[in-house]
């Protein structure tokens, strides 16, 4: 019998850990707290009154009530993308859990979103496109350890390398070095190929190691597709390259120390953003670093601050490093409301410091009805990539306000379908009127199939 979890945006494919038996495969963006099955048993006595702590490794996770672990019981913070933490009340991302034999359990989660977006103005464009993500994870627990093998894949390389319209967004390149502006780049086939090992170092305190050829360093908030505050929203943030653009990094090693109330981590990783070849795995390097501290003072709140030094992140700015500082505050009511407020300062080295603000919320009013929205404000110097343009490299502070609605229908016990739409309006200085029109407007209609619900 499968067990379902809730969460945000991914669809699953095959596992490239071909050298391992299926029972050794793993992937988890779930809220399963590291190791603390013993704590879990104590925290949820009415759920599992006679659960002897030594038997957790043996028990059938397919029958285990993961929802009890992830939906607000005092068992520890939820886990987002990479090693990011989220409020405990967020629970796990949706997924299907199953036993793999012995002490191994598995989790599969995925989403496929078909969307049509249209934006007005001289730089507006429209497109029908498909976003996709698949996650597969295998996990093995003992009373004092947890091992996870994770993979996350996307079929987005199938779409045009130019990506899809997203007015005022920028980042990465297509067509042999042409900057992608007013569009969102497609994601790579391999979004994560990583392992994580947690072990208890003192009562209530665990240490962990995370890493792999494709992973996410300890920098910024949990990536947009892996946080409840952006769960229904079909549009990537225009501030993606200020907050969570490192969510696909080729070469990551992270070490951390954690309790239920705090986590500190340090990463070494490859600073360069993914290149235009989206099917392969780029050469891992460890030329950049980051530090992140996360506080989770109550089940409803998480606060992270992080700082990173990225070695030549952008292909269009060779010889230019970046110092990125982010802070984000996450709230989850445990009853359908999730929100995040975040700040980032991207300091080009050498060059300007470009700041960004983001506030977003996802409010599930009723099981089938969800409202969502996002406000962003960012100083962007990449809107005119043509060197001959007098506005080239100039910094413009622009903004976007977006609001939408999604209607969800369960499909049996293991999947869900959501349909919805959003509208967006944009803010900009008058100097951009010629390029963008006086009042650019955009909308997106979408249908999303989610495995796990
Ligand atoms: Cu991305």
Q: What is the pLDDT of residues 131-180, one digit of tens each?
A: 999 999 999 999 999 999 999 999 999 999 999 999 999 999 999 999 99
Give yes or no for residue 55 having a pLDDT over 50. Answer: no
**Ligand 1 geometric centre to CA of 452 (Å):** 22
* Backbone Cα Rg of the chain: 21
Rounded CA separation 93/166 (Å): 26
What's the 222 CA to ligand 1 centre distance in angstroms? 11
The torsion defined by the Cα of 40, 42, 43 and 48, in degrees rounded to 10, comes to 70
Residue 295 CA to ligand 1 centre (angstroms): 25
Residue 40 has pLDDT above 60, yes or no: no
Instruction: State in Å: Cα 157 to ligand 1 middle.
Output: 12
Cα-to-centroid distance, 264 and ligand 1 (Å): 24
pLDDT at 448 over 70: yes
Flag whether pLDDT at 51 surpasses 80: no
CA 363 to ligand 1 centroid distance, Å: 23
Distance 141 CA to ligand 1 centre (A): 31
Q: In 10 A of CB 44, how many CB atoms? A: 17
Of the chain, the percentage scoring pLDDT greater than 70 comes to 83
* CA of 96 relative to ligand 1 center, distance in Å: 24
Tokens found for residue 235: 């549009």
Calculate how far, in angstroms, residue 171's C-alpha sits from the geometric centre of ligand 1. 9
Percent of the chain, pLDDT > 90? Answer: 80
Beta strands in 259-390, from DSSP E residues, in sequence order: 262-269, 288-298, 301-310, 321-332, 337-349, 353-366, 369-380
- Which residues share a beta bridge with 295? 262, 303
Angle, CA of 192, 330 and 119, to the nearest 5°: 70
Ligand 1 centroid to residue 274 C-alpha, Å: 9
The alpha carbon of 245 and the centre of ligand 1 are apart by a number of angstroms equal to 5
Contact 80, 150 (CB under 8 A): no
Per-residue pLDDT for 20 more than 60? no
pLDDT tens track for 168-226: 999 999 999 999 999 999 999 999 999 999 999 999 999 999 999 999 999 999 999 99
Ligand 1 center to 187 CA (angstroms): 6
pLDDT digits (tens, 9 = 90+) for 362-420: 999 999 999 999 999 999 999 999 999 999 999 999 999 999 999 999 998 899 999 99
Q: What predicted TM-score, i.e. pTM, was given to this entire model?
A: 0.83
d(CA 241, ligand 1 centre) in Å: 8
Band (92; pLDDT cuts 50, 70, 90):
confident
First to last CA, the chain: 15
Query: What is the pLDDT confidence band of residue 247, given thresholds at 50, 70 and 90?
Result: very high
Ligand 1 centroid – CA 63 distance (Å): 35
pLDDT at 358 over 70: yes
> Cα of 68 to ligand 1 centre, how many Å?
31
CB 426 within 8 A of CB 168: yes
Using CA atoms, how far apart are residues 225 and 111, in angstroms rounded to an integer?
10
| Helix, strand, coil percentages for the chain (3-state, nearest 5) | 10, 50, 40
* CA of residue 244 to ligand 1 center, whole Å: 7
* Residues 6+ away with beta carbon under 8 Å from 144: 35, 199, 200
Distance 248 CA to ligand 1 centre (A): 7
For residue 247, how far is its CA from the centre of ligand 1 (angstroms)?
6
pLDDT of residue 453: 66
**Paired tokens of 3:** 């067990």
Least confident of 63-72, 87-96, 406-415: 63-72
> Is the pLDDT score of 34 beyond 70?
no
Q: Are 254 and 218 in contact (CB under 8 A)?
A: yes
Which of 25-34, 107-116, 302-311 shows the lowest per-residue confidence on average (mean pLDDT)? 25-34
Q: What token pair was written down for 130?
A: 């498909």
**pLDDT higher than threshold 80 for residue 42:** no
Q: Which two tokens stand for residue 211?
A: 């890493």
Q: Ligand 1 centroid to 223 CA: how many Å?
A: 8
8: CA distance to ligand 1 center in Å?
14
Distance, C-alpha 308 to centroid of its chain: 18
Tell me, what DSSP letter sits at residue 161? T
């Amino acid at each position: 019998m499968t067990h379902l979890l809730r969460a945000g945006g991914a669809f699953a494919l095959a596992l490239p850990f071909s050298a391992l038996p299926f029972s050794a495969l793993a992937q988890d963006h779930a809220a399963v707290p590291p190791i603390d099955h013993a704590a879990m048993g104590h925290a949820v006595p009415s759920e599992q009154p006679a659960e002897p702590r030594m038997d957790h490794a043996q028990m059938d996770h397919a029958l285990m009530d993961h929802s009890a672990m992830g939906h607000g019981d005092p068992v520890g913070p939820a886990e987002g993308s990479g090693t990011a933490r989220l409020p405990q009340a967020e629970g796990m991302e949706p997924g299907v859990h199953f036993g793999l034999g012995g002490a191994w359990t598995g989790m599969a989660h995925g989403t496929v979103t078909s969307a049509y977006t249209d934006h007005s103005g001289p730089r507006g464009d429209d497109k029908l496109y498909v976003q996709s993500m698949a996650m597969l994870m295998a996990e093995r627990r003992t009373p004092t350890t947890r091992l996870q093998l994770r993979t996350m894949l996307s079929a987005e390389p199938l779409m045009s390398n130019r990506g899809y319209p997203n007015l005022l967004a920028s980042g990465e390149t297509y067509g042999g070095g042409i900057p992608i502006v007013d569009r969102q780049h497609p994601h790579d086939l391999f979004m994560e190929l990583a392992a994580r090992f947690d072990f208890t170092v003192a009562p209530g305190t665990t240490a962990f190691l995370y890493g792999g050829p494709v992973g996410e360093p300890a920098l910024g908030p949990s990536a947009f597709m892996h946080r409840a505050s952006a769960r229904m929203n079909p549009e990537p943030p225009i501030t993606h390259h200020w907050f969570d653009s490192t969510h696909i990094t080729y070469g990551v090693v992270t070490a951390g120390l954690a309790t239920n109330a705090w986590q500190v981590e340090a990463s070494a990783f490859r600073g360069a953003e993914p290149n235009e070849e989206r099917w392969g795995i780029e050469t891992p390097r460890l030329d950049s670093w980051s530090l992140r501290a996360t506080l989770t003072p109550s089940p409803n709140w998480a606060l992270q601050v992080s700082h990173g030094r990225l070695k030549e992140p952008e292909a269009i700015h060779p010889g230019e490093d970046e110092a990125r500082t982010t802070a984000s505050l996450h709230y989850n009511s445990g009853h359908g409301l999730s929100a995040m407020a975040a700040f980032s300062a991207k300091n080009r080295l050498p060059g300007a410091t470009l700041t960004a603000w983001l506030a977003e919320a996802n409010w599930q009013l009723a099981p089938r009805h969800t409202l969502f929205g996002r406000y962003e404000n960012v100083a962007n110097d990449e809107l005119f990539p043509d060197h001959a343009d007098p506005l080239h490299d100039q910094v413009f502070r622009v903004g976007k306000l977006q609001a939408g609605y999604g209607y969800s229908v369960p499909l049996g016990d293991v999947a869900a379908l959501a349909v919805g739409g959003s509208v967006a309006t944009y803010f900009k200085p008058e100097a951009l009127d010629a390029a963008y029109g006086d009042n650019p407007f955009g909308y997106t209609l979408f249908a999303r199939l989610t495995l796990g619900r």
